[in-house]
Structure 1
Amino acid sequence: PYMFSDAQCAVIEKLMREGICRSIWRGVMDPSFCGRQVFIDSGPGKASSAAVAVENIAALKRPGHRVFRRFAKRILEPENRSDGLRGPRYYDRSDCGIYRTATWYASIRMHSDRTIGFEFTNRENTLANFSADGALLFMQHGREYDNIFAHWDWRMVPGTTAYDDGAPLKCDNSVEARKNRSGHVGGLASGDVLCTTMEIERDGLHALKSAFFFGDLVVALGADIRSSDARIFRITTALDQTHLAGPVTRGGATETSGGLPWVHHDGRGYVSLDGAPIAVSTEIQEGKWDLIDPFYRDRTQRGPVFKCWFGHDPARTGGYAYAFLPCCDAKRTERFARNPSVRILRNDAGCQAVEYGKICCAVVHRAGEYRLGGRTITAPEPAIYLLRGGRTEVRSLPPLNGAAD
């Protein structure tokens, strides 16, 4: 009598197949999808719980049940790299996206005036103020963020643009304090391409952030970054922050090697596409686990951390442009920096657009006509455009909230 109906079972199956299982990589649940619980071993633990759930689904022996048994095996045996979950997904109701290939994983976590950016309850997750402001996490071997969160710099969550006003990280449990004041957030997933965008309007900080995911690289653009709060003395955009795992190699415009500034670490490269310098730190960081979960009373942790970021002048309107190169060595990163295969067509308050091969991706923030390389887009409203092979796909966006006139 307690059995779900066929329609209800189908809902749960789709949630697991198209949602939760896609957030697990190499036996670890993506920290951005662990909710407030990023405590010790939470990633592997939540992945194991998901494996139990899909085993239970498989036990019902409904049509297609074998795929769930395979999911469980692949979660519990992360060395098995053929999980079959490939390509992009964008989740409109959660303001987030996932991109998967055979060798690397990426996710983008945003929030809008339709969603609440993050959760903390029972004094858990008290440092999470910026954790949904465009967090862009990458995983290859799956250990990049393993139990790092006590000594993470939470003002530099990878992918986010954040501020420092000299006060401790805001820890206000009210819904309004945790929400973005803009609805101009969205994404478009098609084939092997994912395009996302977010307008941040929080606490006196404004930014337009778009990301473009392709099969072998990700491009991130930021524009109209500005502050309306005089207390803000520092604004940064973090490219990444992981455990330090081996040497860090740098090169580019400030070196004799020439080309754009670039950094390489742990099998991945970062290239500044507009020539802005990339700041790097490999220092030992220290923090307390009880700020993540009070269960760990007075438990401190320290360790060497790789961190790279852009700095922005709070007194000026700024931007950024960078490429992330997964599964590559330093030589390939340097070659890309000398001759990038991606072209930035626009990066301003009206439009952010890139061209990669025969694909053009454009986020139009303000209605108008835009000349992008050899193409012209006439946009009657804000939207994401994907142009490929003579076809154009469009996803409408809510209007901007705080873009400058």
Structure 2
Amino acid sequence: MRLWKNHVQVSDFVVRKAESQFAYSNYRRYYQEARCHAGGEKKDAVKKLREYFSQHPYRAVKSIDASQAIQMASLLGEDGRFSDLNSTEEQFERENAYQQGYENTTDDRVGIFIAGALNRIYQLADACRKGRLEKTSEFTDKLWKAVVHYGNLEISRPNDKPRFHASCFAIPTAAVNIYFACTEDMDRAERGEGNKYLKNACDMLKVLGLQAYTQPLRRDDTDKNVVSVERFRNHVWWVGGNALAYRSLLPVAVMYSSVPMLDVLAEVCQRGISMTSQITYDDSFWTEGFTADGAGWGHGMQCLIWGYPIDGTSSALNMLGMLNGTPWAKQLSRENADALMNFFRGGSWYYRDGYRLPCLDRNSYEYRNKEEAIPYYKMLRNVVKNWLSSFSPEEQKELQQLLAEAETNRIRMKGTEKGVYQGTRWFFNNDDLMKHTPDYHLMINMASVRCDGLESAAFADNYNFYPTDGMTLFQRHGNEYFQIMGGWDVTASPGVTAREGMERLTPVTNWRGYCSRHNFAAGAADGADYAAGGYIFEKMHGADKENVNDKGDRKVKNELLYGFKAYKGYFVLGDYLVALGAGVTNNCPDMEGHIRTTLDQTARVAPVYLWKKGKKTDVAKGSMLLDARKMKDTWVIQEGQFAYQGLPEYQANLYVASESCPAHWAKMNARNKKKSGLPEKVSVLRLWTDHGQSPKNDTYGYTVYLGKDEPARKLPFEVLRNDTLIQAVRSTDKKVVEAVFYPEAPVLKAKGLTLEVSAPCALVLRETDTECYVSVTDARMDATLKEITLVWNGQKIVVPMPQGISCGKSVTVCVKK
């Protein structure tokens, strides 16, 4: 049946199924608009793009050789079915699987089956194109029937549950690759030539390809017009990597010869290279991707910096590159350049000498023992090679230096301003406080209700329960944790306050991770040697927040995760970290398991000893309990690594375990099942304090020395206060004060010091002989807060708060004394 002009023919059965199952009324117009708008210069450009894709498969499965092609072809029957797949297909029919949804978006057995069959068809078509398989009319008729048969299985499926990965990523990709592997045949079909099998197959491939734009349905107005910019905004499935990286959008547009599609893609690609933040979330072009603090979000507001943000932006740059020299060519705007520079700078903090930091994606527990380039390396190389003219001369020089250092896996960027690549930094959209020097890396991953936690899935990490619970990672080499995480007790994750009992945890698929119930997290950093931060921790499931559409598995409760509270503060003074805890309270004291705060759980790679005033005592393998109140000025040191000391005023005990632990790599991450030679046991150094079964307003305090030489024999700081109102420390020379002021905080008073603030915040106050540098961060990211006023020893200091996309950023001012 001829439906539209320009020799586009669509058979009755394809139209019926497509219109009934895709659930939008404007299906036909995509064919119509594709041809009506293809005129002049754009029409010629589309022809060149069609030639390109006919010669360059798009993310296609691997080609097969002649013998493999002959074997595969022998399985294809006259009815267009692969004989070895019939039993699975019939089983699905008996189970009514084609009409059922699936529990998780990655568990789509039917979609995976259909995609596999379509990829076989592509491999056979590709073999014919390359002369590895004889292309007879009898054989091609079977190919066309196969396209229709397996395509029918797909387009007949219901949409009452989302059809995700297979339907919008894999199947459209297979469809366009089949189409362009048979370009001459498809061109004949679109001219109205060829037999019915070819025409039906051409129609079906376009219907399947269009699923890159239609699936999953959003149940909003964009379902009525999927070729629109708004289709690729404001939904977790349609932004960042899920928008541009995994969908075959460009080849589908070219398959349709669609000028409107190409118009939309060019605009989405350019506007997607931008930044978002909590404050500008509703107005940002993408709600995921690069964040204003220099990191990035994926699957909500979780710091999946190495996945979706890079995938989405890299794909945008690649598509814009492919459109260079066409009417859709674009130069990078200043906004694009700023977003890229901010990400390259900020992203470098999430990487240490050949290793990305743990707990930044759903494959943290995958065993890694080899250095790799920083994950944004290919994108950086693309920018330097193809887009350098979009940046200022100073930025060009910086990008070239960054690329050169990235190629060595050692990013130091000597000569750049402190706080840009090295020093201290607060990532205000992700609740991360860091210090990065050539000698070490420190990350504190705090939590608030503003951010999501880290996702987990059955096919990846199975125990991502604690990464954003104040996880505190100390690294000198970059692999201190990756080499032992198969033997981790996750309830003793470094820096975390948690209820013990890993054996009682049941893995779940959780796309939003876990966060804190409280809108309170802050880190003030001067960019150099000093920083202060803190947050109120009371764990909640990220999917319990409003407007979450990807809730994951909520059947498993894992109650031991919840029911306690703590105020956790962190203070960086040069090479010392001071960690303070207050208000540690178990609200469910009858629940099994003590509440513990872990100082570290790291690889034991060198001798461990107790050190006090120059005297060493070896720590034997096994566990030992130290009475912190009797161990003043005593350090636990791992030679060449880090030194730990409990502060006896705030914790009664310090446990140290130096032991060999069995490693359960496959249990921790599904990818490890495919790896061989993984260590069966790992050497672990673990330190923690035990709050007991029913703590109420308990405290803790410890310090970690990060330098390479021996720590000072006398601590170079004093704790001024540690409770649920104020946590504060001061250097012994009284030149530096660091504090976290919680809600209702009074005036901070100490000998020679009075300090009052007008709003909850974290701050660093550093004196010189003539000046005072004050770094302040609003702990609640209040968009209406214009300034925070300090009264310091009677002197009033007004600190303007950043507005708009920078709201929540740490700001430093200098005042005369």
Give TM class, smaller chain: 0.7 to 0.9
> What's the counterpart of residue 362 of structure 1?
739
Q: Distance in 1 between matches of 2:342 and 2:747?
A: 39
Alignment check: 8 A CA contact 1:52 1:72 kept: no
**Counterpart check, 1:395 vs 2:777:** yes
**Counterpart check, 1:245 vs 2:623:** no
Q: Distance in 2 between matches of 1:323 and 1:44?
A: 30
Q: Distance in 2 between matches of 1:393 and 1:71?
A: 28
- Cα displacement string for residues 299-347 of structure 1 (whole angstroms, at most 9, x for unaligned residues): 7732111111111123223211111111335xx33x43xx211100001
Q: Distance in 1 between matches of 2:759 and 2:431?
A: 20
> What's the counterpart of residue 74 of structure 1?
405
624, 636, 643: which one pairs with 1:269? Answer: 643
Amino acid corresponding to residue 29 of structure 1 in structure 2: R
- Whichever of the two has the greater Rg, that structure is 2
Q: How does 1:175-186 map to 2 (within 5 A)?
A: 178-186=514-522
Alignment check: 8 A CA contact 2:627 2:654 kept: no
Q: Distance in 2 between matches of 1:176 and 1:38?
A: 18
Q: Distance in 1 between matches of 2:448 and 2:708?
A: 34
**Counterpart check, 1:54 vs 2:380:** yes
Higher relative contact order (CA 8 A, sep 6+): 1
Report deviation, 1:26: 1.4
Matched position secondary structure for 2:481: coil
> What's the counterpart of residue 320 of structure 1?
700
Q: Distance in 2 between matches of 1:16 and 1:266?
A: 35
362, 375, 378: which one pairs with 2:753? Answer: 375
Report deviation, 1:353: 0.2
Q: 1:21 to 1:43 in 2, by over 3 A?
A: farther
Alignment check: 8 A CA contact 1:284 1:305 kept: yes
Q: 1:176 to 1:391 in 2, by over 3 A?
A: same
Report deviation, 1:223: 0.8
> What's the counterpart of residue 198 of structure 1?
535
Q: Distance in 1 between matches of 2:397 and 2:368?
A: 28
TM-score relative to the length of structure 1? 0.87
Report deviation, 1:43: 8.1
Alignment check: 8 A CA contact 1:282 1:306 kept: yes
TM-score relative to the length of structure 2? 0.45
Report deviation, 1:37: 4.1
Q: 1:79 to 1:37 in 2, by over 3 A?
A: closer
Report deviation, 1:259: 3.4
- Which structure's residues are more often helix, by fraction? 2
Q: Distance in 2 between matches of 1:159 and 1:207?
A: 12
Alignment check: 8 A CA contact 1:55 1:68 kept: no
Q: How does 1:283-322 map to 2 (within 5 A)?
A: 283-297=659-673, 301-317=680-696, 318-322=698-702
Q: 1:264 to 1:166 in 2, by over 3 A?
A: closer
Q: How does 1:73-222 map to 2 (within 5 A)?
A: 73-78=404-409, 85-164=421-500, 168-169=504-505, 171-173=507-509, 178-192=514-528, 193-202=530-539, 203-222=562-581
Q: Distance in 2 between matches of 1:81 and 1:362?
A: 29
Q: 1:42 to 1:73 in 2, by over 3 A?
A: farther
Matched position secondary structure for 2:504: coil
**Greater displacement, 230-239 / 219-228:** 230-239
**Greater displacement, 346-355 / 154-163:** 154-163
Alignment check: 8 A CA contact 2:523 2:777 kept: yes
Q: 1:14 to 1:177 in 2, by over 3 A?
A: closer
Unaligned runs of 5+ in 1: 400-405
Alignment check: 8 A CA contact 1:86 1:100 kept: yes
Report deviation, 1:269: 0.8
Q: 1:186 to 1:386 in 2, by over 3 A?
A: same
Matched position secondary structure for 1:150: helix
Q: Distance in 2 between matches of 1:44 and 1:204?
A: 40
Q: Distance in 2 between matches of 1:179 and 1:16?
A: 24
Matched position secondary structure for 2:349: helix
Report deviation, 1:117: 1.3
Q: 1:20 to 1:35 in 2, by over 3 A?
A: farther
Q: Distance in 1 between matches of 2:369 and 2:516?
A: 27
Report deviation, 1:42: 8.4
- Cα displacement string for residues 191-220 of structure 1 (whole angstroms, at most 9, x for unaligned residues): 422211111112101011111123221111
Report deviation, 1:165: 5.3
Q: Distance in 2 between matches of 1:43 and 1:113?
A: 36
Report deviation, 1:8: 4.4
Q: How does 1:335-354 map to 2 (within 5 A)?
A: 335-336=712-713, 339-354=714-729
Amino acid corresponding to residue 264 of structure 1 in structure 2: I
Q: 1:10 to 1:177 in 2, by over 3 A?
A: closer
Q: Distance in 1 between matches of 2:609 and 2:517?
A: 39
**Greater displacement, 151-160 / 378-387:** 378-387
Q: CA RMSD in A?
A: 2.8
Amino acid corresponding to residue 281 of structure 1 in structure 2: A
Report deviation, 1:247: 0.9
> What's the counterpart of residue 279 of structure 1?
655
Q: Distance in 2 between matches of 1:142 and 1:166?
A: 25
Q: Distance in 2 between matches of 1:123 and 1:382?
A: 41
Q: 1:345 to 1:178 in 2, by over 3 A?
A: same
Q: Distance in 2 between matches of 1:43 and 1:184?
A: 38
How many residue pairs get aligned? The number is: 392
Report deviation, 1:2: 5.1
Q: Distance in 2 between matches of 1:161 and 1:394?
A: 26
Q: Distance in 2 between matches of 1:387 and 1:82?
A: 27
Q: Distance in 2 between matches of 1:166 and 1:35?
A: 18
Alignment check: 8 A CA contact 1:124 1:291 kept: no
Matched position secondary structure for 1:20: helix
Q: Distance in 1 between matches of 2:435 and 2:726?
A: 23
Matched position secondary structure for 1:296: helix
Q: 1:25 to 1:293 in 2, by over 3 A?
A: same
233, 247, 264: which one pairs with 2:593? Answer: 233
Q: Distance in 1 between matches of 2:340 and 2:377?
A: 13
**Counterpart check, 1:18 vs 2:345:** yes
- Which structure's residues are more often strand, by fraction? 1
Alignment check: 8 A CA contact 1:30 1:43 kept: no
**Greater displacement, 200-209 / 242-251:** 242-251
- Cα displacement string for residues 61-117 of structure 1 (whole angstroms, at most 9, x for unaligned residues): 233233233223323324686656211111111111221123111111122111111
Q: Distance in 1 between matches of 2:409 and 2:510?
A: 39
Report deviation, 1:352: 0.3
Report deviation, 1:236: 1.3
Alignment check: 8 A CA contact 2:484 2:663 kept: no
Q: Distance in 2 between matches of 1:166 and 1:396?
A: 35
Report deviation, 1:378: 2.5
Q: Distance in 1 between matches of 2:579 and 2:370?
A: 26
Alignment check: 8 A CA contact 1:129 1:170 kept: no
Q: 1:191 to 1:81 in 2, by over 3 A?
A: closer
> What's the counterpart of residue 9 of structure 1?
336
Q: Distance in 2 between matches of 1:382 and 1:131?
A: 25
Matched position secondary structure for 2:686: strand
User: Taking every aligned residue pair, what percent have the same amino acid on both sides?
Assistant: 22
Amino acid corresponding to residue 359 of structure 2 in structure 1: S
